[in-house]
Amino acid sequence: YHAKTHGETCSFYSNELDSHSTRRLTMLADLGTAIRENQLQLYYQPRIDIKTGACNGCEALLRWDHPLHGMVPPADFIPLAEMTEIIHPLSLWVLTSAMKQIRSWMDQGKEIAIAVNLSARNLIDIHCPSQVKSLLEEFDVPHRLLEIEITESALITDPHRAMQVVEEFHKLGIHLAIDDFGTGYSSMSYLKRLPIQTLKIDRSFVKDMLSDDADAVIVRSTIGLAHSFGLNVVAEGVEDEPTLMVLRNLQCEQAQGYHICRPVPVADFDAWYDARLN
Q: First and final CA of the chain: distance in angstroms?
A: 71
Q: What is the DSSP letter of 185?
A: S
Q: Which region, left, alpha or beta, applies to residue 57 given φ > 0 means left and ψ of -120 to 50 means alpha? A: left
Nearest CA-CA partner of 132 in 172, 192, 104, 159: 172
Of residues 58 and 238, the one with the C-beta less far from ligand C2E: 238
Q: Tell me how crowded residue 36 is: count the other CB atoms within 10 A of its CB.
A: 11
Q: Residue 49 CB, nearest distance to ligand C2E (Å)?
A: 17
Q: Which does 66 bind (CB under 5 to 8 A by kind): ligand C2E, Ca ion, none?
A: none
Of residues 78 and 112, the one with the C-beta less far from ligand C2E: 78
Is there binding between residue 147 and Ca ion (CB under 5 A)? no
Rounded to whole angstroms, the Cα distance separating 102 from 42 reads 12
Q: Residue 34 CB, nearest distance to ligand C2E (Å)?
A: 13
**Residue-wise DSSP of 81-135:** HHTSTTHHHHHHHHHHHHHHHHHHHHHTT---EEEEE--HHHHT-TTHHHHHHHH
Nearest CA-CA partner of 146 in 170, 123, 124, 127: 170
HSE-CB of 68 using CA atoms within 13 angstroms: 4
Of residues 72 and 154, the one with the C-beta less far from Ca ion: 154
Residue 152 amino acid letter: E
Size of the site for Ca ion (CB under 5 A): 4
Of residues 6 and 69, the one with the C-beta less far from ligand C2E: 69
Pick one of 91, 97, 101, 117: the residue that binds Ca ion (CB under 5 A): 117
Rounded to whole angstroms, the Cα distance separating 183 from 77 reads 21
Residues at the site binding ligand C2E, with contacts judged by CB under 6 A: 45, 61-62, 73-75, 78, 94, 117-119, 179-180, 203, 236-239, 256-258, 263
Q: Which does 30 bind (CB under 5 to 8 A by kind): Ca ion, ligand C2E, none?
A: none
Q: Residue 4 CB, nearest distance to ligand C2E (Å)?
A: 42
Rounded to whole angstroms, the Cα distance separating 175 from 196 reads 7
Q: Residue 92 CB, nearest distance to ligand C2E (Å)?
A: 11
Of residues 136 and 244, the one with the C-beta less far from ligand C2E: 244
In what helix (H) or strand (E) does residue 221 lie, and over which residues does it extend? helix 213-228
Of residues 117 and 119, the one with the C-beta less far from Ca ion: 117
Q: Which does 239 bind (CB under 5 to 8 A by kind): ligand C2E, Ca ion, none?
A: ligand C2E
Of residues 207 and 250, the one with the C-beta less far from ligand C2E: 207
Is there binding between residue 149 and Ca ion (CB under 5 A)? yes
From 22-30, 65-73, 172-180, 240-248, give the range in contact with Ca ion by CB under 5 A. Answer: 172-180
State which residue has the least CB distance to ligand C2E. 257
Applying CB under 5 A, the residues found at the interface with Ca ion are 117, 149, 179-180
